[in-house]
Chains A and B, each alone.
Chain A
Amino acid sequence: MELTQTESGERTAVVGCSGRLNMVAAPQLRSYLTDTINGGRDRIVVDLSETTFIDSSGLGALIGGLKTARQHGGDLRIAAPNDQVRTVLRLTNLDRVLRPHDTVDDATRGW
């Protein structure tokens, strides 16, 4: 998995996550999100358009990032997940707390 910060504002960061988000990659994403939020950008969009696969560890990293962002007064949103990611979110009921946005632009609307 590769992480990129494709766009940033004063409080906003768009984190691109390409490849497989499984138990190997999840700690890397978790750490990256924590560092980004602690660095002052507490409005995070995780761009999943290049994420090919997610498992429960990856979901845990996203939930961890969401909690950290909210503790800092911000939020974490996800954008452009593929069918596998959408299905996994739905089957775990996490789409209620991590509602998928179709695009990064949709996700950042209102910020």
Chain B
Amino acid sequence: MPPVAGSYRLEGLAVPQSLDELHQLLAQVAVDHPDVNAEDLSMLETATIEIAGNVVEHGRPAGKVIYNFSLTVADDRLLGVLADSGEEMAEDPDRSAPLHTAESGRGLLLAQAVLDELTYARTEEQNYWTMVRVRRG
């Protein structure tokens, strides 16, 4: 049977353990879709963990933010959408590279670098991060 497009969803409290659940979801996608290039999936995973890590670390009220992640495997792209119930995130306006010696401040830059598209939007109640990785393989 040829591989088919698929959708995945995960939701819960935005706490550090959520990152493990996201890793496991991405691992399941790899199993279900052996046709997806490993680097494409790995780069989407990299971006997802960066953005989710931001929500876990900076989402307010801390420990009470609910996240909802969806991932779609399409013929030409991988699409991840991470929504969260936290207060409006002050999108870091400075996406320039930090100094080599900096120990933080690379997350958004890295997520952007591994994706073809990264957008942030705010509705009345949720933050939305949309991540697109165009499939190379």
Chain B residue at minimal CB-CB distance from A96 = B100
Do A56 and B106 touch across chains, with their CB atoms under 8 A apart?
A: yes
For the complex, count residues of A whose C-beta is within 8 A of B.
24
Which of B50-58, B80-88, B126-134 participates in binding chain A? B50-58
Do B107 and A63 touch across chains, with their CB atoms under 8 A apart?
A: no
A residues in contact with B104, CB < 8 Å: 56-57, 60
Main secondary structure of the interface of A (DSSP, over half): helix
Known contacts A23-B56, A87-B39: A55-B103 contact under CB 8 Å? no
Could you tell me the distance in whole angstroms from the C-beta of A70 to the nearest C-beta in chain B? 10
For the complex, count residues of B whose C-beta is within 8 A of A.
28
B residues in contact with A63, CB < 8 Å: 100-103
Q: Does A83 make an interface contact (CB < 8 A)? A: yes
Do A88 and B46 touch across chains, with their CB atoms under 8 A apart?
A: yes
Known contacts A53-B45, A87-B39, A88-B46: A23-B16 contact under CB 8 Å? yes
Do A84 and B101 touch across chains, with their CB atoms under 8 A apart?
A: no
B70-105 contacts to A, CB under 8 A, are 97, 100-105
Known contacts A87-B39, A91-B113, A94-B100: A59-B106 contact under CB 8 Å? yes
User: What are 8 A-B pairs at a CB distance below 8 A?
Assistant: A22-B53, A53-B46, A56-B106, A60-B103, A63-B101, A91-B110, A94-B100, A96-B100
